[in-house]
Structures are given as C-alpha cells and as structure tokens.
Amino acid sequence: MRAFVFPGQGSQKVGMGTDLAAASAAAREVFEEVNDALGQDLAKIMAEGPEETLTLTENAQPAIMANAMAVLRVLGREFGVSLAEKGEYVAGHSLGEYTALCAARSFSVADTARLLKLRGQAMQAAVPVGVGAMCALLGADIDKAAKLAEAAATDPATGAKEVCTVANDNDPTQVVLSGHAAAIDRAIAMVKDFEIKRGVRLPVSAPFHCPLMGPAAEAMDKALTATPPGVPILPVFANVTAQPVADPEQIHRLLVEQVTGRVRWRESAIGMGEVGVTHFVELGGKVLGPMIKRSFPDATVTSVVSMEEIEALAKEL
C-alpha cells in the first residue's frame, strides 16, 4: 500500500518550482491558477524572492502547496499517474494537510490557495510579534518533551503559568514546542535537566499549533464554513488524531483543531504503517521522508521535486 505525503512550512526556498515550470506547461498551469486565486504574482516571489517575502507565512503556505500540486499535476498530466489508482491514503504536515486534501480533490487548487493565504494571515495576526516563539528539541522523545514543556510553563519568579506545549511530534528524535517566548526560552535553558541533547529556537514569526492561536482557529472555522471541504477521493490521515478521515464535516472540525493542536506526525507515520502502508511518496519536498524513516524504519520513502525525479517515480509506479 502507498501513501502520498505533503510537506509543511520551512520547506520553502527561493527558486522553488522554477525548473519544473520551465519544463512543463502543466506545472505552469498550477502556478497561474494560484496567482489568479490570490490576485498576486506568487510564482514570481517563489522564483525570485526576496527570501524574506517568500518566508512570510501568508506567502510560504500557498507557495509550498503550489509547488507540491505542480509536481502532482505533472505526474498526472504528462505521465498518466492517478492518485486514486496508485495510493491508498494522503497526509500532510500542518499546512501540508491542506495540500493533501487538495490532492485528494476535497478542495480545488484555487480554494486551497485562498484558504492557506488566510490561514497564514490569521496565524500571524493571532499573536503580536515577539510575544510567542517556538523551539525544536533535538534528541527528545515525546515523553521528555512533554515533561520539559510542563516545567517551562511556570515562571519561577512569579509562579505564573504561561503557554508552553508540544506543537509538532515529528519523529522519535525531534519534537517542537510552542508558546510564550519567555517559556520557550526557559525550555531551551532546561533541556539538559531532561536529558535532551539540544533546544534550538526556530526562526518563525508566530507560535503555531498552541492555544495562543485561538483567534486563528476561529478565523479558519469561518473560512471553512464558507468554503467547505468535499469528500476526498482518498482518506487523509489527520494531524490532530493520526487517524484516517474522509467525512467532510469531520475534516472541517479537525482542520480547525489543527490550528491550536499538536501535529502528530510520528504517530501518523506509524499509524499508516499499521494499516498496511509500506511506501511513502513525498511530493514537493524532501523534509518528511527522513522523519518517516525514523518513525517507521521499514518504510520505503521516495521524495519527488524535480522533473527527473517525477520521471523516475512514474516508471516505478
């Protein structure tokens, strides 16, 4: 069995999609659809930058989706590869869950672009810059990370509780915390007390996947009511449950919960393995493959970005 998976924020880089667009009209078509939907030349920002503009959450999220969907469109249009015929499940990391749903035709490319633009804006607006932060814990399993987060949430000077929680359970060696900046700094300072190798503050502009994102969750609830998901052609493994879902109302609810909830990527990789998935194909990035292998060592993982890699995958499928 095979699952197609889609990367999340952080996988963007200037130049993304440029070679594919030059090689394929199908890829260019996706970028044009996204440009039209957003009323901006996102493809130019993807191709030329500047990096700080591409990295803005409201640009990075639709850009990463567009890049992955361009790869999928080329696979389908030029090599006759059908997701429904070649896969059993889809999944994506954070914003990648929207890409997965787009790939499974629960949303159109245009609607996905608009939803992700709004999601990026709402997440940025939810917390003033500097109030929140995130950090990656290297050499940490989920139990150590959860205990550290609980300890760091308390300000020792005042005894006041701040937000510090697990945002991403990526694999058995990497967990990301999110919350108030002071609490995240405390967590980084305390890593050795919890036998964690290292804590690294992440270069993000907002504390994603924690309760501070409440206003963004409300905004996405309204947006998804106005643009409801359809029935996907393949079930999606949801971030917040690490379980497959295909019911549109449930998909809506879980996408809202995902804004403030934990991305259970490690559990999702293991869960897909438990239902029989042996092959994972990452489209549009090379980030999730290594995480999946660390969580599920017996998995076969293929990451596909370039035209050469698309051609090789098409032959393999």
Domain boundary among 158, 182, 201: 201
Q: Is the pLDDT of residue 220 over 90?
A: yes
State the pLDDT at residue 203: 82
* Residue 267 covered by a domain: yes
* Catalytic one of 178, 209, 268, 295: 209
Q: Are residues 215 and 197 in the same domain?
A: no
Q: Are residues 151 and 16 in the same domain?
A: no
Q: Are residues 168 and 253 in the same domain?
A: no
Structural domain boundaries, residue 154? 132-201
Domain boundary among 142, 177, 201: 201
Q: Are residues 168 and 27 in the same domain?
A: no
* Residue 255 covered by a domain: yes
* Residue 278 covered by a domain: yes
Are 63 and 42 in contact by the 8 Å Cβ rule? The answer is: yes
Residue 137's pLDDT band (cuts 50, 70, 90): very high
Cα dihedral 139, 145, 151, 157 sign: positive
Distance CA 251, CA 244 (A): 10
Distance CA 166, CA 188 (A): 13
State the pLDDT at residue 290: 95
* Catalytic one of 94, 106, 178, 303: 94
CATH assignment of the domain containing 244: 3.40.366.10
Q: φ and ψ at 229, to 5 degrees?
A: -70, 150
State the pLDDT at residue 260: 98
Q: Are residues 245 and 312 in the same domain?
A: yes
Q: Which residue type does 199 have?
A: G
Domain boundary among 201, 225, 248: 201
Does residue 94 have an active-site annotation? yes
Q: Is the pLDDT of residue 196 over 90?
A: yes
Q: Nearest CA to 184 among 134, 139, 231, 234?
A: 134
Q: How many domains does the chain have?
A: 2
* Residue 206 covered by a domain: no
* Residue 257 covered by a domain: yes
Residue 83's pLDDT band (cuts 50, 70, 90): very high
State the pLDDT at residue 185: 97
Q: Interior CA angle at 203 toward 171 and 163, to 5°?
A: 70
- Helix, strand, coil proportions of the chain in percent (round to 5)? 50, 15, 30
Q: Are residues 145 and 45 in the same domain?
A: no
Residue 129's pLDDT band (cuts 50, 70, 90): confident
pTM of the model: 0.96
State the pLDDT at residue 155: 92
Does residue 106 have an active-site annotation? no
Q: Is the pLDDT of residue 269 over 90?
A: yes
| pLDDT tens sequence across 271-317 | 999 999 999 999 999 999 999 999 999 999 999 999 999 999 999 98
Q: Is 226 exposed, middle or buried (0-12, 13-18, 19+ CB in 10 A)?
A: exposed
Distance CA 253, CA 229 (A): 10
Q: Are residues 122 and 136 in the same domain?
A: no
What is the percent of the chain with per-residue pLDDT over 90, rounded to a whole number? 95
Q: Nearest CA to 264 among 119, 136, 98, 92?
A: 92
Q: Are residues 147 and 229 in the same domain?
A: no
Q: Is 6 helix (H, G, I), strand (E, B) or coil?
A: strand
Distance CA 73, CA 24 (A): 10
| pLDDT tens sequence across 223-237 | 999 999 999 999 999
